[in-house]
Chains A and B, each alone.
Chain A
């Protein structure tokens, strides 16, 4: 059973703080990992992809991947109220033509 697990939250952080979102996955051969942001009533928006162990930074966002621990995280620095959304972790299973399995998402609330 291919699974992607996320804490559903809600995760509440004050404005300006670092928000840390976590995701674990069950298939150790997975190679591609993604974070999507989904505002209420909207469709998922890709914010980060990561393929290699370590950190990948893009603006205020940092994705971290640890394949040995089957763990991927997203850090949001200097959190803003506009970051309040549900963050979906997605893992690609099954090789080059494999598909994304999404977690249920973590709801983040950034308080002014």
Chain B
């Protein structure tokens, strides 16, 4: 079974530029997550989709970050304009539809390492 795919793996941009990341979840996983992981920290959720609807985007900095999952499969996360503090690894994860009893296991892609100069 193929895992979560992400691209690009690395990106270097200058501040105030824009950048986009792409994610393809595990086949059959309706729920998709974008996380930001700063060096030395655990991942922090930015946005959660179920199919093509947003479940939680409370921690997404909406003045500069946007995300979409138009057909309920692939997703794109965009930053515009980027700031120095956006330097981090952006992780995409997917899961089956979660419930209190199960299906809560999330599987991560390889991540995109973003450096903002």
The count of A-to-B residue pairs whose CB atoms sit within 8 angstroms is 58
B110 near A42 (CB under 8 angstroms)? yes
Question: CB of B45 within 8 A of chain A?
Answer: yes
Give 1 or 0 for each of A78-98: 1 = CB within 8 Å of chain B CB. Answer: 000000000010101001111
Q: How far is the CB of A69 from chain B (nearest CB, A)?
A: 21
Closest A residue by C-beta to B44: A102
- Tell me the count of chain A residues lying within 8 A, CB to CB, of chain B: 25
In the complex formed, the residue of A with least CB distance to B111 is: A43
- B98 CB within 8 Å of chain A: yes
Per-residue CB contact flags for chain B residues 41-52 toward chain A (1 = under 8 Å, else 0) read 111110010100
In the complex, chain B residues whose CB is within 8 Å of the CB of A103 = 42
Is B117 an interface residue when CB atoms closer than 8 A count as contact? no
Cα distance A97–B49 when bound, in Å? Answer: 10
21 contacts between A and B (CB under 8 A): A4-B42, A31-B100, A32-B104, A36-B108, A42-B110, A43-B111, A44-B108, A46-B107, A51-B101, A88-B42, A88-B43, A92-B98, A96-B99, A97-B55, A97-B98, A99-B48, A100-B45, A100-B104, A102-B44, A103-B42, A104-B41
